[in-house]
Each structure stands twice: as structure tokens, then as C-alpha cells.
Chains A and B, each alone.
Chain A
Amino acid sequence: MKKVSLIVNGVQRQFVVEPDYILLDLLRKELRLTGTKQSCDRKGQCGACTVIVNGKSVRSCLTKVVNLDGAEVITIEGLGTPKNPHLIQEAFALSGAIQCGFCTPGMIMAAKALLDKNRDPSVDDIKKALRRNLCRCTGYKKIIEAVRLAARFLRGELTPDQVRPDPKQGLIGVSHPRPSAMIKACGVAEFAADIHVSGAGELATVHSPYAHALIKSIDTSAAERIPGVIGIMTAKDIKGTNRLKYMVPDRPILCDAKVRFIGDPVAAVLAETREQAVSAAQAVKVEYELLPVMMTPEEALAVGALQIDPDRPNLCFTQPQIRGDAEAALEKSAAVLETDFSTQTNHQAPLEPEACVAYLEEENGDLPTLVVIGRSINIHYHMGMLQDAVGYENMRYEEAYSGGQFGIKIDVTSEGLAAAAALHFRRPVRYIPSLVESMWLTSKRHAFRMKVRLGADARGKLTAYCIDFTVNNGAYYSNGNVIVNRALLMLSGSYYIPAVRAMSRLVYTNTIWGAAARGAGPPQVNYALESAMDMLAEKMGIDPLEFRLMNILKPGQPKSTGRVAEQWPLPELMEAIRPHYNRARNDASEFNRKGGTVKRGVGLGTGSFGIGGPGDTATVAVELDLDGGLTVFGAAADPGEGNDSMLTQIAAHLMNLPMDKIRLVTRTTGRTTAAGPAAGSRITYMLGGALVDAIHKLKSAMAEVSAVTAEQLQASGKPTRYMGTKKNEDAGPLDPQTGQGPSFESQVHAVQLAEVEVNTATGEVRVVKMTTAVDAGRVINPKNLEGQLEGGMDMGVGFALREIYIDGQTKDWVSFKFPTIGHSFEMETIIRETPRTKGPLGATGVGEMTMVPTAPAMMNAIANACGARVRHLPATPNKVLAALREAKG
């Protein structure tokens, strides 16, 4: 032990600590300064724990307290408060640099250390200073802009008030800072791991090291003897179904009979400290009997393959889509492209671990309420899943601030374990899993294998498209059929294709389970279609932009589902991108004229993404408050997209109120409407639509009795609370034989232009620039929209070039190949606003579409640069070199 004296945020402190005690623990556990975050298992990979020590930014997870005697430490809490923020915090909020907010405190501290020494940093200076800080939401562009804005504030060239949008500018189409931005900038937004729960035990989980095995026995005796252990929970201790049923009840909270992938949870330990729980988990002895492992759909579909799920065959879902006679149309086509593509299993990679807490809230002699505070994006549905799984109905679910989503939170993970443990041990439980545990607990983006044939007539008009795709569903079902159906609902992408023939297969395997991931199906099939478009255009000697333009669907023509589109404002986007395309082609020609091993290329990709799916319904309630404000009730999870902005700005606009008079109640099952998931890019379109309807009803009632206040409404016998709904009346499943049927009510459209440089000697690809033209209808908050576009393109490039999840190998952000600020690239966005006829104030959604065109645009650019056609993602240097060799014959 050693006594250390140091100053933290200006206050002299003394601590007696063990030699290996780290600053992160001192700050979070001893001083409750929870603005300093933790993501990477203390490996120094994420920078979320960055603080300033003696004027330098350090990662507090790598900093030992014993070395800090006499040091001065500044954390995010030492900069400013929401009511009196530091200029850097103001700059981040005003720049739209804060989405989920989990990385923000670390980013701001790294920026402060830079700006304290350099008040006029270049972009390269900023990239160097923030090189150890990861962000999954923003693509880093707005973070760089925020640091430059902060520098101007600090130099005295500007003040925040000069940048802050004037309310007189209006509320729609104006980038008012998010309501939640400043509490995230100041580190006081409480994520699940930041919530203090008195007397809580800490949970750790035992995970299977095998991909497929029977559980023969579990010996907990050694683990029980470890000091601090409260108890050990296995499947037999869970009183409910022990099945987390999203669509079908196949995924256990804790495995009972067998394990189905590397990482499947087998037992859980509750102890007084997390370290004790982890030690005890390592001491639990599980005896396994190994079973044959099937990692690919081919292995799982082989004759005699063992059935992975006891109740469902390995081929667990199929859905064809047939429109016209595609085979005959291909036979008559002037040109046919036939090839195959595949995409990888990928981690959605929100920065925050899968943290949650659970406890029993006493009820005066009656059954206590089980309260779960977690990371759900569908609190009402997930509460229902938990009620069944743990066998306890009297429950409330609350959403904490959550650090990124991107589809991973469509299903329940750590909440099942925490809820079951709170009931079993009758103790409050904190479950703050490590990064690797979080990877094991969560779903992944499904890997697709796709065989395609695409035909066109002599004029270049598409004639037919055939695709067979097989989806590796992994060990559990989750929403597998939804992914397949979404791929089919958007199969023809941006185009009118007269004849379509598709067959899809969803297959259980012994890989980690798949579920939603930004786009959820369309990114995979659109990569195949948009790559095939370029390949067919090349075969026919037609420019890729012209080929796309001549085949874009027109209003009145049907999509592959047979539903006719009413609006399709994509040609205008193609024309908007044309000058950039021509400029980029000229730049590439100029560059390549110089010779050398590095070649520059240009590629296009389009995306037309459906929003407001078949039968989708949302409800939102509004209540006129006695002080003249308005409260909005609706379970609109906001893990970073800016739904708080959307609801606030729409409500303030329609009610002619200042934004601070709009109150949002969105995070608890106790007070919100059950409005469906914050998924499918649906919140703006569906909940925004329901909000408009609710306010319309309120205002109609007010007008009817000439009331302008809640008191006057009440005096007239009218309620002050009104429910609004938004519904896509086109409901029902796709026809099981033809795949024809209901479709999305709205679409968001985009075209992306990728400019890349390919090193033909090493296979390395550098992104020079991404340009995107987007029409998401009327824009509510431009910076929020741009933030989605930039973050999505960054994620799309990561998906295209680097990222992959490999069972048993991917264990942290380095092995996952998380995109850093060093990978970031120039981005430009072009916004067009075609009001959507059924959207709230003419708006639609955008969050997922933004990465749908990226991977094909990248692959088309690589092919354009050097002839290497990469058909199997990610396009690692080895694959680029192999494709180059293939191209050269």
C-alpha cells in the first residue's frame, strides 16, 4: 500500500492504494466521477477514460495511482456544468459532435489537452491528439469541427452565442443543439454503469469456450469458496421459461442442456465486487461433451447434419420472391451478368458495454416490483420478454442513457441475467460486463452468401434479376426472418426490374447469433445488386451513372414486392452528384496519369430504403401542462440518433412554444406509450407522425372551446391529454410462395460517390473522399441529419474494408478493427428535400440508409481504380491483391 496525495478538479485528496490501483477506478468508484467512461477492458484502446494529468491527456485505465503523488488531475466534471459549461463543451454541443455521448467526455478531455497547448491546431494536429479516442457514431467529422470551433472560441474570435441558432430562425430545418447534448458534454448523463445502487452485488458470467457441446455437469464448489461470493446461478435457478423469446423461444438466459456457440452463457456469479465475481466465474468447472460443430450454412444443411435447435430444423426459414418470369427474361436479354458475393459476420460495435442494473422495489407488504434499468430500444416489448423468461410479472423497465446501438439493442442481453439474478439472490444487481463478455452476449450482423444473375436489353434497360441468398443465422433465431424479409422488401433497390426471382434461406449454425445491424438485411443484398450494376454496365460499355439513371424506378412502377411507389426522388440526386462524379473522374485520370503503384478510382452506389414497414403502428400521447408547456409521452429510445431533438423541435414548432417548454417522457414503461422499437429508421417517421396527430387533436380540442391554457381546457370539460397514432395500413406478411405483398409507406434515397486510392503492391485502400446526395424529405435538424450520414458512411467503409467478427478470435476493439480518427476521411453531403406525402411535416427517416450504398460504392471504386473486383467482404489487402491477380488472369 502507498499513500498518495493529489489534486482532483482543484480539490486536494489523499488516498492509500494498492500498487496496481488505476486512476479510472479511483475516479469512478471512490470519487463517483462517472463522466470518465470505460469501454475497452482497460486496454487503452478506446480513450473513453481520458483525463488530464499534469496538463497531458492520459488514459486513466492505464494510469496507476501510486505514480500520481503530487499530480493534478482534471476530469470532465472539472471543466464545466450544464448551466456553466466550458467553451469546449459548448463547441461540441453546437457542432453536432455529440450523438450517443459515451465517447464525448474522453474526446473533450483530449481536445482540452491539445487546445491548452495549441490554440490553432490543424486537422492533422487534431487527429494526432485524438488518435486514441474511438467514436462509433459520428465518423469523426463533426468532432474535428468541434475542436476547431472550440479553438476559435478560445482565441476569442467567436462566442457560443454568435454560433447558437436564434429561435427566431424557426424550429424546423434549424440545427438547435440536442436537448441532451450538454449533459453528455459535461459527463452527467447517467449510463447504466454510472447509476449508483446501494448494496448491489456485481455479476460476472461463465461463458462456453466451445461452439457446440452438451453440458454434462457444473461444479460451483470451488467458486463458492472465493471470498465475496454471494452465490452462483445456473439455469435451474431461473423460475420462468429461461428463454428470451424475440420471435421464437430458443435462446436461454443461461444454457441448460447444451451450448450452441463460443460465448454462450452457462452460469452467473454474484459477488460483492466485480473482481471477485470474475475470479469466481473462472473457478466454475463445467464438464462438456463436445458435439459436431457447424460453422457454415453448408455444413448445417449437409445430409445427416445434427439439428442444432431441438424444436426447429437447421433450415429454419425460407421465403421466395417471384415477379414475372425472370428465367425467360434472362434468356432473351442482350447481356447477363452472373457472379456471386458474400458479406461477413460483423459486430455493430456500440462503444458502451452491455451494462444494466436490476433490483426489487418494495411495495408495502405486496409483491415487490422488479426494476430493470438497461439498454433497451423497445422497453415495453423487452419487459414482456423478461417477464416470461424470469417468471415474474410485476416489473418496470427503464432505459438509461445508452452508448450507441446500430441494431444490437433490438434484443435482450444482459438484462436477462441481471433480472434473474436480482430475483434469485434477492439482492440489487449491477451487471457491467467486459467488452469481450459484451461481444459474446450480443447479436451480430448476419453473414450473407449471394448468387446473382442480372440482365439487361440492348438499350441497357434491366430485364430480370435472380438472386439466391443464404443467411448464416448463427446459434439463435432472434429476428432472423425479419432480416430475410427486409432484404426481400428492398431487393430491387433503387431500380425498376420487370422480373425477379429470389430464394432466401435462413440457417442455424454454431456461430454467434445474428440479428439487427444498421440496415438489417438490405446492406448485404444491396451490396450484391449495386456491384452487379457496375459489372453489367462495364460489360455493356455504359457509364455506371447513366446505367443507373436509365433504370431508376419511376413513381407508378412496382418494387420487387409488387407494391407501386408513389414517390421516388432519386433521379434528382443522381443529377446532383453528377458534377462531383465528373470532377472525381477527372481527378482520378489526372492522378493515374502520373503512373506508379497507387491507383485512384471512383465508384457509385445508390440506396432506396424503406421506412414505415407493413402494418407498422405507433402511438404518442401529449399533455398540455398547467404552466403552458407540453409533455410528450412515448417510448422513443434515443441511443444517439437525436430523437430528443426531433420530438422537441416538432412539438415546439406545432405548439409555437420555446424548446425548453417541451418535456419528454420516453424512458420508462411506467409512463410511456408502447410505441415499438427505435429500429428500422422508424422513430422520426412513425413516432414523429403520431406526435403530429396527437398535437393536432389537442389543438382541435383547444380551438373547439377557444381555450389557450390547460386550465381553460379543463374548465370546458375537455381533457388535457391526447393520444396520436401513425399507422401503415398496408399490413400483413409477404405471400409465402411469391414474396409479393405489403411494403413500406415511405422511402429515403441516396447516392454515394466513393473516391479511393489502391496500392496495387500492398492491396491497401485509402479513402480519399465520400460524397453523398440524400433526400430524406423535409429536414428537421440539419446537423443531426448530417451526423447520421457521416457516421453511417464511416461505418459503411469499416464494413467494406476492415471489420469482421470471428468467433473465438475477436475479443477487443483492435482485433475487431474499429475505425479510428486516423481512418477518417473527407466527407461532403448534398441534401435535397422532397416532402414525403405521409411523413410528419414531410420528413422520413435516415439512420440506416446512410450505410446501405457505401460498401458497393467502395468496391466499385476499387474496381475502377485497378480492375480488382472484390466480391467477398471485407476487402482486406489480401483480398484486393487476390482480386488484382484474378483481373490480370
Chain B
Amino acid sequence: MEGTAQTPPIRQELGERVRHVAGREITFDGEGFFWDPHQWSEDVAMALAEEEGLKDLGEAHWAILRFLRDYYFQNGRSPLNRQIKEGTGISLMEMEALFPCGIKYGARRLAGLPNPRNCI
């Protein structure tokens, strides 16, 4: 079979995406999670929140986002949901109400935490 260098559309699903958010160039993975958590800033979080229809980030939101980031850099992973609850004193049901996209796709993404890695 003689080949061609055509690029099937699956590459678009696999690749990283670079976007400019709040004046910063940020690399996201295919699910919209930060590739590098150091590219995050509070302004970026607010801009991403607005994209999700979350216009005002209140104290409870920030408490969760700050906890997530502190936990990540201390432990090398995102906390389990129960650990967020223990760390912030906010119940899981309250958290789900605060972040309409959920804790993983809402709070964790806004906090700039990356996905765990798969294959090399």
C-alpha cells in the first residue's frame, strides 16, 4: 500500500490547543484543562468563568479555587472531592451548586489544574 501524508481528523481530538485568555497564551489539553498550571492567574480564572456563564466569582468560589491550587502544589494531584470538602468546609452539594459545570470540569478547570497524564 503506497501511503499519503494525509491527516485524518482524529488529530484534532488528540492535540493540545493554544488560546489567548486574559492577555496570556495558555496551552489547554483536548478537554480544556491547563497543560501547565503555572500559566494560570486570577484574571484568567475570571475570564474562563465568564465563558462558562459564571459571571461573579464569590468568596466561596475563590476559597475552593485557592484550596485546589494549594493542594495540587503540595500533593502533586487534584484533591478528591471529599478532601475539598474537608479542606474548605463546603459540602459537595453546595460545591456543585457553586460550579454549574461540576467540580472536575468547573472548579478544577478554573483553578488551572492539569489532567493526569496518560501515554508517553
User: Which residues of A are interface residues toward B (Cβ below 8 A)?
Assistant: 246-248, 301, 312-313, 315-318, 320, 363, 366-367, 369, 378, 380-381, 383-384, 387, 393-396, 410, 451, 468, 470, 477, 479, 481-482, 503-505, 516, 612-617, 619-621, 633-634, 669-670, 672-677, 679-680, 682, 721, 723, 733, 736-737
Sample of 17 A–B contacts (CB below 8 Å): A246-B119, A315-B8, A318-B3, A367-B92, A369-B81, A380-B77, A394-B80, A505-B3, A621-B76, A672-B76, A672-B77, A673-B75, A674-B78, A676-B116, A679-B120, A723-B75, A736-B7
Residues in A whose Cβ lies below 8 Å from that of B82: 363, 369, 394
* Distance of A316 Cα from B74 Cα, bound (Å): 40
* Distance of A395 Cα from B102 Cα, bound (Å): 14
Query: Does B14 contact A481, Cβ atoms closer than 8 Å?
Result: yes
Residues in B whose Cβ lies below 8 Å from that of A468: 1-3
Question: Which of A246, A316, A318, A673 lies in contact with B77, CB distance below 8 A?
Answer: A673
* Distance of A320 Cα from B4 Cα, bound (Å): 8
Nearest CB in chain A to that of B103: its residue: A393
Question: Which of B3, B76, B91, B115 lies in contact with A381, CB distance below 8 A?
Answer: B115
Q: A381 and B120 in contact (CB under 8 A), knowing A481-B10, A675-B76? A: no
Nearest Cβ in chain A — how far from B104, in angstroms?
Answer: 5
Check: B62 CB closer than 8 A to any chain A CB: no
Query: Does A247 contact B81, Cβ atoms closer than 8 Å?
Result: no
Residues in B whose Cβ lies below 8 Å from that of A246: 118-119
Query: Does A677 contact B118, Cβ atoms closer than 8 Å?
Result: yes
Query: Does A470 contact B1, Cβ atoms closer than 8 Å?
Result: yes
Query: Does B120 contact A614, Cβ atoms closer than 8 Å?
Result: yes
Query: Does B119 contact A482, Cβ atoms closer than 8 Å?
Result: yes
Q: A247 and B116 in contact (CB under 8 A), knowing A393-B81, A394-B81? A: no
Interface centre among B81, B82, B118 (most CB of A within 10 A): B118
Question: Which of B8, B74, B85 lies in contact with A317, CB distance below 8 A?
Answer: B8
Interface of B is mostly: loop
* Distance of A468 Cα from B4 Cα, bound (Å): 11
* Distance of A410 Cα from B120 Cα, bound (Å): 11
* Distance of A669 Cα from B83 Cα, bound (Å): 11
Nearest Cβ in chain A — how far from B16, in angstroms?
Answer: 8
* Distance of A312 Cα from B14 Cα, bound (Å): 13
Check: B59 CB closer than 8 A to any chain A CB: no
Q: Count contacts between A and B, CB distance < 8 Å.
A: 138
Q: A723 and B116 in contact (CB under 8 A), knowing A393-B104, A394-B92? A: no
Residues in A whose Cβ lies below 8 Å from that of B10: 248, 312, 316-317, 477, 481
Nearest Cβ in chain A — how far from B99, in angstroms?
Answer: 11
Residues in B whose Cβ lies below 8 Å from that of A616: 117, 120
Check: B15 CB closer than 8 A to any chain A CB: yes
What is the number of residues of chain B that contact chain A, defined by CB distance less than 8 Å?
A: 37
Q: A677 and B119 in contact (CB under 8 A), knowing A387-B104, A393-B102, A723-B73? A: yes
Query: Does B8 contact A316, Cβ atoms closer than 8 Å?
Result: yes
Question: Which of B14, B104, B117, B120 lies in contact with A247, CB distance below 8 A?
Answer: B14
Give the residues from 45 to 71 in chain B that come closer than 8 angstroms, CB to CB, to chain A.
Answer: none
Nearest Cβ in chain B — how far from A319, in angstroms?
Answer: 9
* Distance of A369 Cα from B103 Cα, bound (Å): 14
Give the residues from 33 to 49 in chain B that come closer than 8 angstroms, CB to CB, to chain A.
Answer: none
Query: Does A366 contact B76, Cβ atoms closer than 8 Å?
Result: no
Query: Does B85 contact A366, Cβ atoms closer than 8 Å?
Result: yes
Query: Does A479 contact B119, Cβ atoms closer than 8 Å?
Result: yes
* Distance of A312 Cα from B7 Cα, bound (Å): 12
Check: B9 CB closer than 8 A to any chain A CB: yes
Residues in B whose Cβ lies below 8 Å from that of A470: 1
Query: Does B115 contact A384, Cβ atoms closer than 8 Å?
Result: yes
Residues in A whose Cβ lies below 8 Å from that of B91: 366
Query: Does A613 contact B120, Cβ atoms closer than 8 Å?
Result: yes
Query: Does A680 contact B119, Cβ atoms closer than 8 Å?
Result: yes
Query: Does B8 contact A312, Cβ atoms closer than 8 Å?
Result: yes
Question: Which of A367, A673, A679, A680 lies in contact with B93, CB distance below 8 A?
Answer: A367
* Distance of A384 Cα from B33 Cα, bound (Å): 12
Q: A674 and B77 in contact (CB under 8 A), knowing A247-B14, A247-B118? A: yes
* Distance of A670 Cα from B107 Cα, bound (Å): 18
Cβ-closest 7 pairs across A and B = A673-B76, A503-B3, A613-B120, A380-B116, A619-B76, A674-B77, A381-B116
* Distance of A410 Cα from B2 Cα, bound (Å): 32
Residues in A whose Cβ lies below 8 Å from that of B13: 247-248
* Distance of A316 Cα from B83 Cα, bound (Å): 40
Query: Does B8 contact A318, Cβ atoms closer than 8 Å?
Result: yes
Interface centre among B104, B118, B119 (most CB of A within 10 A): B119
Q: A378 and B76 in contact (CB under 8 A), knowing A247-B13, A316-B8, A318-B3? A: no
* Distance of A488 Cα from B50 Cα, bound (Å): 42
Question: Which of A318, A617, A674, A677 lies in contact with B5, CB distance below 8 A?
Answer: A318
Residues in A whose Cβ lies below 8 Å from that of B76: 619-621, 633-634, 672-675, 723
Query: Does B116 contact A680, Cβ atoms closer than 8 Å?
Result: no
Nearest CB in chain B to that of A613: its residue: B120
Question: Which of A615, A670, A679, A733 lies in contact with B80, CB distance below 8 A?
Answer: A670
Q: A247-B13, A318-B6, A380-B116 are in contact. List 9 more A-B contacts (CB 8 A).
A: A246-B119, A313-B8, A317-B11, A381-B116, A410-B119, A470-B1, A723-B74, A736-B5, A737-B5
Mark B85-120 against chain A: 1 for CB-CB distance below 8 A, else 0: 100000111000000001110000000000111111
Query: Does B104 contact A384, Cβ atoms closer than 8 Å?
Result: yes
* Distance of A52 Cα from B94 Cα, bound (Å): 58
Nearest Cβ in chain B — how far from A501, in angstroms?
Answer: 10
Nearest CB in chain A to that of B2: its residue: A468
Residues in A whose Cβ lies below 8 Å from that of B9: 312-313
Q: A479 and B118 in contact (CB under 8 A), knowing A248-B14, A621-B76, A673-B77? A: yes
Nearest Cβ in chain A — how far from B11, in angstroms?
Answer: 7
* Distance of A395 Cα from B8 Cα, bound (Å): 35
Residues in B whose Cβ lies below 8 Å from that of A318: 3-8
* Distance of A620 Cα from B92 Cα, bound (Å): 28
* Distance of A341 Cα from B63 Cα, bound (Å): 60
* Distance of A609 Cα from B116 Cα, bound (Å): 25
Query: Does B3 contact A669, Cβ atoms closer than 8 Å?
Result: no
Residues in B whose Cβ lies below 8 Å from that of A673: 75-77
Nearest CB in chain B to that of A410: its residue: B119
Residues in A whose Cβ lies below 8 Å from that of B1: 301, 451, 468, 470, 505
Q: A676 and B117 in contact (CB under 8 A), knowing A318-B3, A394-B92, A737-B5? A: yes
Q: A721 and B74 in contact (CB under 8 A), knowing A366-B91, A387-B104, A670-B83? A: yes
* Distance of A620 Cα from B76 Cα, bound (Å): 7
Nearest Cβ in chain A — how far from B15, in angstroms?
Answer: 7
Nearest CB in chain B to that of A725: its residue: B76
Query: Does A736 contact B118, Cβ atoms closer than 8 Å?
Result: no
* Distance of A318 Cα from B73 Cα, bound (Å): 37
Question: Which of B73, B78, B81, B116 lies in contact with A378, CB distance below 8 A?
Answer: B116
Nearest Cβ in chain A — how far from B65, in angstroms?
Answer: 16
Nearest Cβ in chain B — how far from A310, in angstroms?
Answer: 13
Query: Does B80 contact A395, Cβ atoms closer than 8 Å?
Result: yes
* Distance of A451 Cα from B2 Cα, bound (Å): 10
Question: Which of B8, B15, B74, B119 lies in contact with A733, CB distance below 8 A?
Answer: B15
Query: Does B80 contact A621, Cβ atoms closer than 8 Å?
Result: no
* Distance of A622 Cα from B120 Cα, bound (Å): 25
Query: Does B119 contact A366, Cβ atoms closer than 8 Å?
Result: no
* Distance of A676 Cα from B14 Cα, bound (Å): 18
Q: A396 and B80 in contact (CB under 8 A), knowing A318-B6, A736-B7? A: yes
Residues in A whose Cβ lies below 8 Å from that of B118: 246-247, 378, 381, 479, 676-677
Residues in B whose Cβ lies below 8 Å from that of A723: 73-76
Interface centre among A366, A612, A616, A621 (most CB of B within 10 A): A366
Interface centre among B14, B115, B116 (most CB of A within 10 A): B116
* Distance of A482 Cα from B14 Cα, bound (Å): 10
Residues in A whose Cβ lies below 8 Å from that of B85: 366
Query: Does B120 contact A621, Cβ atoms closer than 8 Å?
Result: no
Nearest Cβ in chain B — how far from A677, in angstroms?
Answer: 7
Q: A679 and B119 in contact (CB under 8 A), knowing A384-B104, A395-B80, A736-B7? A: yes
Q: A682 and B120 in contact (CB under 8 A), knowing A247-B14, A503-B3? A: yes
